[in-house]
């Protein structure tokens, strides 16, 4: 839920940082649910949605949802360094890596051509010791934490990989080598590669699978829309 600065430390999920510079008006979209509260959240269709404006120097942001799988964000954050927010939709898995026979997700998004952001999955173990980020697209001044570890093809995509730590948890970042606005990610092979091939973690219990937009700058107001998102496991 809580996020990291662009190229420095990842903050623990429960850590609350400074507040909004000002509240935006509610979105014009006639949604089932909307909020402009920095920690606003709700549960819809088995997913939990968060506005999640956590970073220092944030501007205004509102999130709306037609369902847990169709939702969007209007964000107006200054073009300064540091992540301001990570609006996202989360599904809880609650299974160890070895007990999972499948873990996959479909995504379809519409994102702006300007601004500083990434569109990413954020996968956590239940103890929040490990964070696995899967960037499906990014724009502007954003970068992964830690040194480059090479390129690998897993789960239907080719990724540039990075491994870092903030002193509290390990961060494994996978950046798709070309931007995508829709597709399917098979997440389980990524987890098995980290566990079995690289031995960077053990048989962790996977907790949250989050999907959203890590926004650093969106001056003047930009729209991010999740047209469809589904996360499934067995």
Q: Which residues contact 15 (CB under 8 A, 6 or more apart)?
A: 2, 54
What is the C-alpha separation between 188 and 233, in angstroms, rounded?
9
Helices H, strands E: what count in the chain? Answer: 1, 15
User: The tokens 């809880």 sit on which residue?
Assistant: 92
Query: Taking a C-beta distance cutoff of 8 angstroms, is the pair 193, 152 a contact?
Result: yes
pLDDT confidence band for 29 (50 / 70 / 90): low
What is the C-alpha separation between 23 and 59, in angstroms, rounded?
8
What the chain holds in terms of domains, given with CATH numbers, is: 33-233 (2.60.120.180)
pLDDT tens, position by position, 58-86: 999 999 999 999 999 999 999 999 999 99
What is the C-alpha separation between 222 and 75, in angstroms, rounded?
5
pLDDT confidence band for 166 (50 / 70 / 90): confident
Task: Indicate if the pLDDT at residue 48 is higher than 80.
Answer: yes
Q: How far is CA 231 from CA 53, 104, 148, in A?
A: 23, 6, 28
User: The tokens 């973690």 sit on which residue?
Assistant: 201
Task: Indicate if the pLDDT at residue 167 is higher than 90.
Answer: no
């Amino acid at each position: 839920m809580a996020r990291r600065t662009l190229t420095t430390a990842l903050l623990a999920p429960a850590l609350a940082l400074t507040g909004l510079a000002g509240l935006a008006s509610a979105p014009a979209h006639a949604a089932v649910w909307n909020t402009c509260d920095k920690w606003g959240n709700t549960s819809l269709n088995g997913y939990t949605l968060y506005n999640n404006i956590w970073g220092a120097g944030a501007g205004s942001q509102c999130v709306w949802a037609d369902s847990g799988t169709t939702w969007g964000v209007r964000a107006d954050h200054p073009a300064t360094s540091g992540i301001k927010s990570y609006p996202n939709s989360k599904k809880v898995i609650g299974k160890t890596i070895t007990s999972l026979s499948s873990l996959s997700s479909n995504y379809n998004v519409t994102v702006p051509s300007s601004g500083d952001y990434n569109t990413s999955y954020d996968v956590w173990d239940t103890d929040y010791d490990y964070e696995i980020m899967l960037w499906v697209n990014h724009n502007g001044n954003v970068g992964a934490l830690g040194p480059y570890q090479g390129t690998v093809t897993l789960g239907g995509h080719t990724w540039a990989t990075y491994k870092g730590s903030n002193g509290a948890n390990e961060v494994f970042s996978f950046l798709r080598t070309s931007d995508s606005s829709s597709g399917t990610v098979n997440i389980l092979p990524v987890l098995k590669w980290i566990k079995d091939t690289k031995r960077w973690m053990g048989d962790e219990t996977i907790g949250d699978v989050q999907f959203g937009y890590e926004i650093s700058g969106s001056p003047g107001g930009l729209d991010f829309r999740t047209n469809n998102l589904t996360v499934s496991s067995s």
